Structure 1
Amino acid sequence: MTVTEARGAVDAVWRIESARIIAGVARIVRDVGLAEELAQDALVAALEQWPESGVPNNPGAWLMAIAKRRAIDLIRRKETYQRKLAEMGHELEIDGDSVEDDVEAILEDHIEDDLLRLVFTACHPVLTADARVTLTLKLLGGLKTEEIARAFLAPEATIAQRIVRAKRNLAKAGVEFEVPAGEDLFERLSSVLEVVYLIYNEGYSATAGDDWMRPALCNEAMRLGRLLVGLMPDEPEVLGLLSLMELQASRANARIGPEGEPVLLLDQDRRRWDRLLIRRGLEGLDRAWALEKPPGAYLLQAAIAACHARAADPEDTDWARIAGLYAVLAQVTPSPVVELNQAVAISMAFGPERGLAAVDALAEEPSLKDYHLLPSVRGDLLFKLGRLDEARAEFEKAAALTRNERERTLLLERAAAC
């Protein structure tokens, strides 16, 4: 195996396993910034050894073992080693050579909890709201800084600085690696839900690269959503988020064509939608509404997704209801992106002229300046109105803005069809 091949393998494993590795190490060192550094040390070891030894049968476990070993070695060099082991082992008696084995067993027993602890630690109130979301995407989602910047519609340098400051502030404040309890849990929930959904979105519509979707990220986000539902089964926004993700994920098989190309919602073969995920999503939505609490952003978005899930054919979609739900969502969570989605629903319910007027009202919105879906939506509406030259220009503009190769190809094909 060449160094280049080893680097590719390491990158692929890191994308999938980084959250578990960082979370497992953080349980030992109680510092997420230090945990990430130790996990990165394991990557360096992989780059040094894998070109000669080859990729291990379980590369994620290999990286985890190396990172934990580095963490244990680090603690051994500190006077607090015995106290740390007592905290982790719950007064477990540990003898000399069996230390690593015992610690491994303890940590493996709690790996699912460790991931949830990692989310809440990164979302601690000592950080700003933006920093909480950014840091968790970096640590839990394994996203690159540029991908996080794309999700936030923010400059990459801003995100990089935010990550550095966030880790420094967590260490300075001595934040505990734990899941909060009582009122503190509810106060920090909103940021956690935002983080989980951003991770899901990066998997559902990858911001960069050659793939239209990254299913592993979607699955990770849904798994975290289920953990949160288990923790807070009577919180409608938690139920709403999981329902939303499941309803959207039900379309995954139909969103990609034979050559990996994107297939838009109205062109999908709905027979390929996952009925089990739809049933789960609708059941979760019913549970959330039954709590009879004011709907939040995720519950409203889940209700919109349910309108699509219930339509056997695109023509059966209740677009007027979707437009109304977006109007409520815009009141609950004001956002130009929500207004853009509302404009699409308006065009489907009441015609492309009204939809185009709603889109044009957003043309000068600063946060949408480099958002490729604005010209993409505008191009679609212009195409429907027969204004083909204008539509072509909009599709070409959208293609230049997107950083996903599959999406760029689709947009250029639409431009060529004008």
Structure 2
Amino acid sequence: MDEALLRSLAPGVLAVLVRRGADFAAAEDAVQEALLEALRVRPAGSSPGSRPGGGEPVRDAKGWLVTVAWRKFLDQARADAARRRREGLVEEQPPPGPVPAVDDTLQLYFLCAHPSLTPSSAVALTLRAVGGLTTRQIARAYLVPEATMAQRISRAKRTVSAVRFDRPGDVATVLRVLYLVFNEGHSGDIDLAAEAVRLTRQLAARVDHPEVAGLLALMLLHHARRDARTAPDGSRVPLAEQDRGRWDTRSIAEGVAILQAALARNRLGEFQAQAAVAALHADAPTAGETDWVQIVEWYDELVRLTDSPVVRLNRAVAVGEADGPRAGLAELAALDPSLPRHTAVAAYLHERDGDLATAARLYAEAAHKAPDLAERRHLTRQAARLNARRRP
């Protein structure tokens, strides 16, 4: 069993153990031990379906993992004197045997996105339990020490251990967690954006909900532009300056098709509306041919759905493109100046309006507020470019 297969099976194995009576934390530990054993005893060069330790191929890889994980859970329960009462309960459960064809992965999504968890803990637990990533991989992706991430995941597991599996979860919360994972992009040796797309595909296969489809469409449309977003020196390339020939047309086509099917159900949500904006950008052959009037209309829908200050900020940019920079500046004046990117948007609109001195000053100010090095470099270059144009 190779690593990719094991990762795909892990959520279902974990769900089986929890359904049999194991608490989440202990079950997750047992599954991780079973996965390590599967990797440890598999002979080098054997095929993905090979039986660990050699011999005939494993016909039911999931069943093998369930058996090993359940045994490890029982071993730990017997070894822990403080869990003797629980041990008596789990001993009464029927022996492992064949694994029923029940897919409990969806329950894990809901459990990992429990409202009692902080967003960062929910993301980490989702990547560990549903994504199958190791604590070390998650720590590297978030650029924190492994011990710090281990503590965060451990606290999250303790929090959800008492949560029952008998209530439907909140799809909206799961989608927010997956979107947080996606927006982390690519860090270290784990491509979190690609991982989020993979997990959202899994969710879409299990939940018939237009907003799940909307999020998947949004991810695909944004992900299609990733290769054009960064210059060879690592600096950020704005959407208007991107080489559209480098966009992934297959992902764009898939995203648009998924979005159209979702919109046809007439149950509009924020992810569908965001995906519609992304689709309009993807549909334009050049930046100058972007249908900004339609984009403003979709932002109007997003304001109605969310009343988010960030959405209003993005709408101000769209108004500036559709109706002119002064109209955009008028929309911007009604927003809180402390909003992220407010200063950068103001700089862009002032540049469009021809006020290069004010734009250069605001670009430099925005660079000091930038959340990451790539953004800081981009804004600093914008300020330098305008200052160079202003010199005689």
Q: Quick check: TM above 0.5?
A: yes
Residue 344 of structure 2 corresponds to 376
- Residue 137 of structure 1, CA deviation: 1.3
Once the two structures are superposed, residues 42-88 of structure 1 have per-residue CA deviations (whole angstroms, 9 ceiling, x without a partner) of xxxxxxxxxxxxxx99xxxxxx9xxx79867633414455865896x
- 1:359 alignment partner, one of 326, 332, 337: 332
1:40–1:113 CA distance, 2 compared to 1 (3 A)? closer
Report the number of matched residues: 331
Distance 1:381 1:19 in 2: 47
1:380–1:163 CA distance, 2 compared to 1 (3 A)? farther
* Structure 1, unaligned runs of 5 or more: 1-16, 42-55, 58-63, 94-101, 149-160
Residue 409 of structure 1 corresponds to 377
1:413–1:228 CA distance, 2 compared to 1 (3 A)? same
- 2:95 alignment partner, one of 91, 95, 102: 91
- 2:359 alignment partner, one of 391, 410, 417: 391
Q: Is the 8 A contact 1:32 1:167 kept in 2?
A: yes
Q: Is the 8 A contact 2:125 2:153 kept in 1?
A: no
- Residue 119 of structure 1, CA deviation: 2.5
- Residue 237 of structure 1, CA deviation: 0.7
Distance 1:39 1:406 in 2: 39
- 2:220 alignment partner, one of 243, 246, 249: 246
Identity %: 35
Residue 130 of structure 2 corresponds to none
- 1:139 alignment partner, one of 125, 129, 138: 125
Distance 1:355 1:214 in 2: 40
- 1:310 alignment partner, one of 256, 274, 283: 283
1:120–1:72 CA distance, 2 compared to 1 (3 A)? same
Compare CA radii of gyration and give the structure with the larger one.
Answer: 2
- Residue 26 of structure 1, CA deviation: 8.2
- Residue 250 of structure 1, CA deviation: 0.9
Matches of residues 20-39 of structure 1 in structure 2 within 5 Å?
30-31=22-23
Matches of residues 90-239 of structure 1 in structure 2 within 5 Å?
91-92=95-96, 116-124=106-114, 127=116, 131=117, 133-141=119-127, 168-171=158-161, 174-176=162-164, 184-185=168-169, 188-203=170-185, 216-233=191-208, 235-239=209-213
TM-score, structure 1 normalization: 0.66
- Residue 310 of structure 1, CA deviation: 1.0
* Structure 2, unaligned runs of 5 or more: 1-5, 34-43, 46-64, 128-134, 144-150, 387-392
Distance 1:25 1:191 in 2: 21
Q: Is the 8 A contact 1:229 1:238 kept in 2?
A: yes
Distance 2:333 2:9 in 1: 44
Distance 2:92 2:280 in 1: 52
Code of the aligned partner of 1:227: Q
Residue 53 of structure 1 corresponds to none
Distance 2:119 2:384 in 1: 39
Distance 1:336 1:326 in 2: 12
Distance 1:417 1:169 in 2: 51
Aligned-partner SS, 1:140 = helix
TM-score, structure 2 normalization: 0.70
Code of the aligned partner of 2:96: L
- Residue 135 of structure 1, CA deviation: 2.4
Q: Is the 8 A contact 1:382 1:388 kept in 2?
A: yes
Aligned-partner SS, 1:362 = coil
Q: Is the 8 A contact 1:132 1:191 kept in 2?
A: no
